[in-house]
Amino acid sequence: MSLNKIFSEMKSETKYIRYFLEVILAVTLILGANTISYGQDDLQDAIVTLSFIDNNEAKIIQAKATDQDGSPIEDLELYFYVQRTFSLLPIGDFFNATDENGIVEIPFPEDLPGDMEGHVKIVVKILESDMYNDLTLEMIKKWGVATPIDQFEEKRSLWAAAANAPITLVLSISGMILVIWFIIGYIIFILYEIGKIKSDIHTHFSEEKYFEDIIESF
């Protein structure tokens, strides 16, 4: 076998090896991607139960996290919020992780305004955990400070919606519009009447009087 032939065969083998490696790499990548995706699907659903402890001293939100088997989940971060008008107000510490019994306790602030009767919506979340799926729990409790009827929304005011404009403003503006447009309407009516008057008399003026004209009486 000549040296050239050997080199030529080596070249073609190298080519096959390269193809083979490329196929292996592609399969690995696809499988790898699938593995990651399977990994995400493998996240479990945690079970979080909320208890509300209200003694005279403080109001406590207690959350207990267990897995599907009922075993407590340790070191699971939970996020606690209270729903406000436009967004969620975080409460508790920055990080609130469960202990070895799967329990975490958060004191509820005493001074948060609620609705007319003091109801507030408490929201507890699991967010972006490595092992458990995201979860949101909502519970309405009468723990807020009762807030009387929202004056801004209910009362007639300058800043209310159109339907709740102050009566005095509505009446005064409507009155002014009516008065001035009544006058305009009356003038247009008179113009209409002027147009209806027929030319039944002909007054002839002398040449000297041509440029004598009206002087309005006002």
Site residues for another protein per CB under 8 A: 158-162, 165-166, 169-170, 173, 177, 180-181, 183-184, 186-188, 190-191, 193-205, 209-218
Decide whether 1 or 201 has the Cβ nearer to another protein: 201
CB of 179 to another protein, least distance (A): 9
CB of 160 to another protein, least distance (A): 7
For another protein, give the closer residue by CB, 21 or 173: 173
- Closest alpha carbon to 101 in 129, 131, 137, 63: 63
Q: Return the ∠ at Cα 215 (arms to 209 and 218), rounded to 5°.
A: 165
Closer to another protein by CB, 52 or 186: give it: 186
CB of 147 to another protein, least distance (A): 25
C-alpha to C-alpha distance for 36 and 165, rounded to whole angstroms: 59
Q: What is the 3-state secondary structure (H, E, C) of 54-78?
A: ECCCCEEEEEEEECCCCCECCCCEC
Secondary structure letter of residue 97 according to DSSP = B
Q: How far is the CB of 192 from another protein (least distance, A)?
A: 8
